[in-house]
Every structure is written in C-alpha cells, then in structure tokens.
C-alpha cells in the first residue's frame, strides 16, 4: 500500500464510499497466506521482483508440495532450490510441467516464462567441483528472465584459460564468479572488467579450507573493486543479486 493508494482510500472514507470498518480491514489486509507452518508471501513478486523462492533444505516433501501448490494456484513461476531427486519424484505427478535440474538440484515450474532482459549475465566457475553452485546460479538467473552464459573450469592455476575468454567477460552486464579453494578467481575477474562482479565462495576444498572460509575471506579482501560477495555455496543468492542488477537496465 503506497502513498497514492493511502490517499485514495482516505478519500473514499471521507466521501462515505467506504466505511471505517472496511478501511481498517483493507489497511490491515496483507498479501500473504498462512498455511499454518508457513506464510506464503504473494506480495513478494511486486516487492522483490520474483515470487517467494522455496528453499528446500530442511523442509519436508509434504511442506514443499503444499507451498508449490499454493503458488501454482496463483499461476506464479516456481523455483525450488536445494532439493534432491526424491523430492522431485514426490511432486512431479501433481505438477507435470515441472522440471528437475540434476546438477543444480532445483525444481522449476514456469507458468509464465518471463521475457528476457536486454543485458547478459555470465557465470564463471573455477573448477568442476564448483558446478552444482554455478548451475544453481544459472537456473535461477534464467527463470528470473535473464540471458545467461557460462564459462566453466577457468581457475587461476591456468590463467590462460580465463584470458582466452576475455571477450565473453567484456560483453556481459553482470558476472557471477563461483570459486572454492582459495577463491582467487573473483579478484582476477574483477581486475579484468568494469562490470559488477558477484562472487560466490564455495565449500569446495579440504583442510584449511574450513568449509569455504578461505574462499570467503579471499573474496571479501579482494584488491579488485566492484566485487560483492554472497554466502558460501549460495548460487541462488548470487543470481538473485545479479538479476536485481540486470533489471536496472530496464529501468532507465
């Protein structure tokens, strides 16, 4: 409810076209539905540009199916992240148009495929073990209405593989860099381009990697500018930020 809607509502009350009780009711009605165990936030597509995404980790199959069902009835586009194949098997009969993305561990159901925005998002990853995170970013950015390109397995230990792809780096509007171990790829990419870089540290590695801490600290301390960091392994969050950035090109 924004300023002009508030003005209009108050005018209706003033003119006697709306009762006080009705106005109170409308002022209090909020666009979420309470399923008991969850409050589905339908307003989010207005407020944040995409319906509430279902973070699958730690939710039961039944809960996921119920939330999908609720969103599906509103004809929303649906994205479920961090789910294994068995969750998809559990829901696929009810949602025949849903797709499972094995590597990305996501379910998508596009009721209204969004038109592609003009700018391109590029997903760059350091090693093959980073692919699940990179693919989660790819699937997320795609369903949110972006053209997405990939450059995989270009870690800094063989920097010629990255330099070979410099044109792709240059033509993208936003670059998502996915890297584990020492995470140095974000700094190198950040130094090569003048576009926003969204850095995703991954938990790929062992020992003094400490579950992704090494890549996280590396990216936060990047000597390159224009780098924003999201949580370890958070491919979805990186894509959501990249989408938010890429949406600006439509604004102006």
User: Looking at beta carbons only, is 72 or 243 nearer to its own copies?
Assistant: 243
Compute the distance between CA of residue 197 and CA of residue 19 in angstroms, rounded to an integer: 52
User: Looking at beta carbons only, is 87 or 227 nearer to its own copies?
Assistant: 227
User: Looking at beta carbons only, is 39 or 75 nearer to its own copies?
Assistant: 39
User: Looking at beta carbons only, is 62 or 97 nearer to its own copies?
Assistant: 62
By CB under 8 A, the residues from 147 to 186 that bind its own copies are 152-161, 164, 167, 170, 173-174, 181-184
By CB under 8 A, the residues from 52 to 91 that bind its own copies are 53, 55, 57-59, 63
Does position 102 interact with its own copies (CB under 8 A)? The reply is no
> Which one, of 213, 151, 162, 152, lies nearest residue 187 by Cα?
162
Does position 106 interact with its own copies (CB under 8 A)? The reply is no
By CB under 8 A, the residues from 201 to 240 that bind its own copies are 201, 203-234, 236-237, 240
Contact 234, 168 (CB under 8 A): no
Does position 108 interact with its own copies (CB under 8 A)? The reply is no
Give the one residue of 23, 69, 90, 114 binding its own copies; rule: CB under 8 A.
23
Residue 138 — φ and ψ, nearest 5°?
-60, -50
For the chain, the first-to-last Cα distance in angstroms comes to 24
Does position 97 interact with its own copies (CB under 8 A)? The reply is no
Residue 95 — φ and ψ, nearest 5°?
-125, 80
User: Looking at beta carbons only, is 30 or 97 nearer to its own copies?
Assistant: 30
Residue 236 — φ and ψ, nearest 5°?
-60, -50
Instruction: State how far the alpha carbon of 81 is from the alpha carbons of 150, 176, 180, 224, in Å.
Output: 20, 18, 20, 31
């Amino acid at each position: 409810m924004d300023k002009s809607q508030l003005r209009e509502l108050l005018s209706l009350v003033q003119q006697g076209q709306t009762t006080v009780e009705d106005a109170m009711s409308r002022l209090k009605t909020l666009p979420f539905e309470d399923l008991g165990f969850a409050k589905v936030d339908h307003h989010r597509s207005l407020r944040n540009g995409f319906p509430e995404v279902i973070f699958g980790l730690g939710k039961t199959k039944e809960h996921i199916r119920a939330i999908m069902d609720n969103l599906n009835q509103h004809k929303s586009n649906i994205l479920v992240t961090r789910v294994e194949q068995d969750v998809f098997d559990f829901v696929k009969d009810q949602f025949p148009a849903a797709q499972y993305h094995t590597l990305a561990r996501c379910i998508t159901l596009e009721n209204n495929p969004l038109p592609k925005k003009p700018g391109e998002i590029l997903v760059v990853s350091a090693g093959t073990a980073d692919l699940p995170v990179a693919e989660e970013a790819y699937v997320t950015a795609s369903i949110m209405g972006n053209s997405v390109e990939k450059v995989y397995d270009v870690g800094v230990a063989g920097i010629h593989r990255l330099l070979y792809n410099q044109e792709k780096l240059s033509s993208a509007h936003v670059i998502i860099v996915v890297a584990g171990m020492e995470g140095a790829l974000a700094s190198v990419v950040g130094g090569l381009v003048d576009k926003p870089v969204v850095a995703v540290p991954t938990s790929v590695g062992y020992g003094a990697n400490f579950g992704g801490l090494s890549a996280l600290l590396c990216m936060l301390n990047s000597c390159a500018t224009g780098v924003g960091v999201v949580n370890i392994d958070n491919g979805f969050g990186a894509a959501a930020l990249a989408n938010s950035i890429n949406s600006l090109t439509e604004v102006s």
